[in-house]
């Protein structure tokens, strides 16, 4: 390019990239065709006259995020850089819990920002029990006016004020909307007790909102101690029973095998939780989970078709992207992998 061409290309690039003018406007200004403008802009890129740099915050991995989104057909995938201290020594995914947190600490903050994007005024936001969702709620600083409903009972009724109930209140306070918490344990001794609790006025009111939820935030647990609240609540005999069925993951008291098929559906009859069929009908279900100990479980839940978006870390993303060949895209049609739909008795399916 000669000096005149360089000056003209620089001027056109400035108009297009910095001033936001259209190619038609630039063509009119310089007295050329818009096709000429397009060629000049393309040449400016080829000759390194213009450099385009895509920058995201250092803790976000845009390339892995896009690859994960495409592989599983997710609406949104946000991958956060893993902290070395949280992944070293955690290759034994089914091993005992350690003193390290199950999830990278910043997942909740990133998920809070994502919810700020996804929730619109008038939406109904559902929050399920989980350390990740509790951390997310604590990090919320903006939400449009919306109703917030609790989707599951609590792990321990004695800690309700510091757990999912407080998360619901916190989200409602940030949005200025109504809060509908559930003051009940997630797991009950038997189905009769669970059914009786579901009929209690406060809990029944929360359940009435389940079909109105437009955005939900959930956590995922591996079938191992300290990584699944349901696992920790069950007896040794019950754990062995569900393990024999191939339990690999738990989400909102629903169990899944490695292929994403639901197992142990009888457990839902004893739980205060949103039914899987209702979860599947929610337009946007965001799962927040990370750490290598949860990698297999996260993959299982993604295959279930219940989740539409994921916030995770680079260690999990690498694990999920290891497979070669065409990947599953379950979030596109929200289909149950085994094609079974069995509504439970007023509580869980």
Q: Is 92 inside a domain boundary?
A: no
Q: Is 210 inside a domain boundary?
A: yes
One domain, residues 38 and 127: no
One domain, residues 317 and 278: yes
Per-residue tens of pLDDT for the chain, all 349 residues: 677 788 888 899 989 988 999 999 999 998 999 999 999 999 988 888 887 766 555 578 888 999 899 889 899 999 998 765 444 443 433 333 334 444 576 888 899 999 999 999 999 999 998 888 888 999 999 999 999 999 999 876 444 445 778 999 999 999 999 999 998 889 999 999 999 999 999 899 999 999 999 999 999 999 988 888 888 889 999 999 999 999 999 999 999 999 999 999 889 889 999 999 999 999 999 999 999 999 999 999 999 999 999 999 999 999 999 865 556 677 777 877 876 544 433 443 3
Q: Is 70 inside a domain boundary?
A: yes
Q: Is 276 inside a domain boundary?
A: yes
One domain, residues 18 and 70: no
One domain, residues 143 and 220: yes
One domain, residues 184 and 140: yes
Q: Is 224 inside a domain boundary?
A: yes
Q: Is 332 inside a domain boundary?
A: no
Query: Has this prediction a pTM greater than 0.85?
Result: no
- Reduce the secondary structure of the chain to three states and give it as a string: CCHHHHHHHHHHHHHHHHCCCCHHHHHHHHCCCHHHHHHHHHHHHHCCCCCCCCCCCCCECHHHHHHHHHHHCCCEEEEECCCHHHHCCCCCCCCCCCCCCCCCCCHHHHHHHHHHHHCCCCCEEEECCCHHHHHHHHHCCCCCCCEEEECECECCHHHHHHCHHHHHHHHHHHHCCCEECCCCECECCCHHHHHHHHCCHHHHHHHHCHHHCCEEEEECEECCCCCCHHHHHCCHHHHHHHHHCCCCEEECCEEECCCCCEECHHHHHHECECCHHHHHHCCEEEEECCCHHHHHHHHHHHHCCCCCEEEEEHHHHHHHCCCCCCCCCHHHCCCCCCCCCCCCCCCCC
Provide the CATH number for the domain around residue 23: 1.10.10
One domain, residues 145 and 204: yes
Q: Is 191 inside a domain boundary?
A: yes
One domain, residues 235 and 291: yes
One domain, residues 65 and 41: no
Domain that holds residue 22: 3-47
């Amino acid at each position: 390019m000669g000096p005149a061409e360089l000056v003209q290309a620089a001027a056109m690039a400035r108009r297009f990239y910095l001033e936001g003018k259209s190619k038609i406007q630039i063509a009119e200004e310089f007295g050329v065709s818009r096709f000429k403008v397009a060629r000049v802009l393309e040449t400016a890129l080829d000759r390194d006259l213009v450099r385009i740099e895509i920058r995201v915050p250092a803790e976000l991995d845009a390339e892995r995020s896009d690859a994960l989104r495409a592989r599983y057909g997710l609406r949104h995938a946000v991958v956060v850089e893993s902290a070395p201290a949280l992944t070293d020594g955690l290759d034994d995914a089914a091993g005992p819990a350690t003193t390290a947190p199950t999830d990278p600490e910043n997942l909740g903050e990133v998920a809070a920002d994502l919810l700020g994007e996804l929730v619109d005024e008038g939406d109904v936001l559902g929050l399920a029990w989980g350390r990740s969702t509790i951390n997310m709620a604590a990090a919320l600083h903006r939400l449009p006016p919306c109703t917030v409903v609790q989707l599951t009972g609590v792990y321990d009724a004695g800690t309700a004020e510091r757990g999912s109930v407080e998360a619901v209140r916190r989200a409602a306070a940030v949005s200025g909307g109504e809060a509908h918490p559930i003051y009940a344990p997630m797991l009950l001794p038997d189905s009769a007790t669970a059914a009786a609790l579901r009929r209690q006025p406060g809990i029944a009111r929360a359940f009435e909102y389940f079909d109105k939820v437009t955005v939900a935030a959930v956590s995922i647990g591996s079938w191992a101690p300290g990584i699944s609240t349901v696992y920790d609540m069950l007896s040794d005999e019950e754990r062995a029973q569900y393990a024999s069925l191939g339990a690999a993951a738990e989400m909102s008291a629903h169990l899944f095998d490695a292929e994403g098929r639901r197992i142990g559906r009888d457990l839902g009859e004893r739980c205060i939780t949103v039914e899987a069929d209702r979860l599947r009908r929610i337009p946007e279900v965001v799962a927040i989970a990370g750490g290598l100990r949860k990698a297999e479980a996260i993959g299982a839940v993604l295959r279930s078709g219940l989740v539409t978006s994921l916030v995770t870390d680079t260690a999990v993303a690498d694990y999920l992207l290891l497979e070669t060949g065409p990947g599953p895209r379950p979030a596109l049609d929200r289909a149950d992998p085994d094609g079974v739909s069995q509504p439970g008795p007023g509580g869980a399916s």
